[in-house]
Amino acid sequence: MSTSSSKKFKNPRPIYHQTGQKCSISGVGSYVPEKILTNSDLEKIVDTTDEWILSRTGISERRIAADDEYASDMATVAAKRAMEDAGVTADDIELIIVATITPDMPFPSTACLVQRNLGALRAAAFDVEAACSGFIYALEIGQQFIMSHTYETVLVIGAEKLSTIVDWTDRNTCVLFGDGAGAAILRSNGGTHGLLTACMGADGNKSELLSMPGGGSRNPATIQTVNDRLHFLRMDGREVFKNAVNAMFSASRTVLERCELDISEIKCVIPHQANQRIISAVGERLGVSSEQLFTNVEKYGNTSAASVAIALDEAAKNGNIERSDLILLLVFGAGLTWAAAVIEW
């Protein structure tokens, strides 16, 4: 097994401690739409080929939500599956956090719509907008409420319907994105370490590298903004790639050092599923072995805030991780934003 350095840590478990009540992930769930959009399908839409997409992204297909299927609907299904996995009911949930950049509407929050769908009438609810980094941002926020003894049970969801903001005439971006949702139940649990630490970061000076200019107070919807295609995602792929690799590597090293862990002690590394080239570059810099790395980008493409949430659920359900295993999550997204987290499963 390759490692990023020759240093070996002797601690059987991390010594990094946080004050307050410990928080663990007690259940996970995910949902992806039925419709599959393959690379061959995209060949009929834009000037591209299956070989071109695969060689540059590692993506073979992605899921596309139905016209009447919204972010809140996908989030609700993922949430119910996570609740079943954790053995909790709607009455147990005290807070709902939804990470999304494709909410059903600007307001009310998608979290409030999920609360209604679940019948979780005791729960406070709000959204987090940190793009592809949103799920880890939401995990860390949820953990703080549990550590402070404010809540005992928190539902965290990443949900996206990116197909509604993708420019299907732009072959460089439309091949990358898909729809889906993933969820986790956070609970106070003194018997396990749970979420050991998280590192979050942002650089607003590079916000233009990945954005959707239209639809907000700066460029509200007009005939002109629609004609200028401002309501679609825009990305500088080359610069995003470079920044993503550097930021995810740096954030990962930070959380590993906090826990006094070597990468070889991590059972499963789950990076943001954006592009296989980015995943491979980060993995190589960290010294991650192929056995440690979990990917599903080939099936779903980039589902933004739902990406690592879906992957975490699949890794758990497929037996890639078991109780007491150490997991490294790492993400990067528009903002620019990034984050990493170490979890003892």
Residue extents of the structural domains in the chain: 1-345
Average pLDDT over residues 88-93: 98
| pLDDT band with cut points at 50, 70 and 90 for residue 210 | very high
Which of 39, 243, 275, 302 is catalytic? The answer is 302
Residue-level pLDDT at 6: 34
How high is the mean pLDDT of the chain? 93
pLDDT interval class at 20 (50, 70, 90): low
pLDDT at 18 over 60: no
CA distance 330 to 246: 12
Q: Going by C-beta distance under 8 Å and a sequence separation of 6 or more, which residues neighbour residue 220? A: 214
Query: Exposed, middle or buried, 15 (CB in 10 Å: 0-12/13-18/19+)?
Result: exposed
Answer whether 156's CB lies under 8 Å from 186's CB: yes
Q: What is the pLDDT of residues 140-168, one digit of tens each?
A: 999 999 999 999 999 999 999 999 999 99
Are 341 and 197 contacting, i.e. CB atoms less than 8 angstroms apart? Answer: yes
Question: pLDDT at position 3, please?
Answer: 37
Res 331 pLDDT > 80: yes
At the topology level of CATH, where does 1-345 sit? Peroxisomal Thiolase; Chain A, domain 1 (3.40.47)
The pLDDT of residue 193 is 67
- Do the bridges between strand 95-99 and strand 153-161 make them parallel or antiparallel, or are there none, so unpaired? parallel
* pLDDT value, residue 11: 44
pLDDT at position 14 is: 46
Question: What average pLDDT does range 8-16 have in this prediction?
Answer: 44
User: Which SS3 state, helix, strand or coil, does residue 143 take?
Assistant: helix
Among candidate residues 174, 199, 272, 275, the one labeled active-site is 272
pTM, entire model: 0.93
Q: In Å, how far are 119, 183, 193, 194, 296 from 323, measured between CA atoms?
A: 30, 18, 11, 10, 21
**Rounded mean pLDDT, 328-344:** 97
pLDDT of residue 183: 98
CA–CA distance, 18 with 201 (Å, rounded to integer)? 19
pLDDT digits (tens, 9 = 90+) for 225-246: 999 999 999 999 999 999 999 9
pLDDT at 191: 60
Q: What is the mean pLDDT of residues 31-57?
A: 97
Average pLDDT over residues 207-211: 97
Q: Please tell me the predicted confidence (pLDDT) of residue 299.
A: 98
Average of per-residue pLDDT across 328-332:
98
Tell me the β-bridge partners of 197. Answer: 342
**Whether the Cβ atoms of residue 155 and residue 120 lie closer than 8 Å to each other:** yes
Indicate if 302 belongs to the active site: yes
Tell me: the pLDDT tens digits for 22-43? 789 999 999 999 999 999 999 9
List the catalytic residue out of 23, 132, 199, 268.
132
- pLDDT tens column, 171-193: 999 999 999 999 999 998 766 56
Q: Is the pLDDT of residue 344 over 90?
A: yes
Residue located via tokens 């009310």: 108
Percent of the chain beyond pLDDT 90? 91
Mean pLDDT of 205-222: 97
For residue 302, give the nearest of 156, 169, 173, 130 by alpha carbon: 173
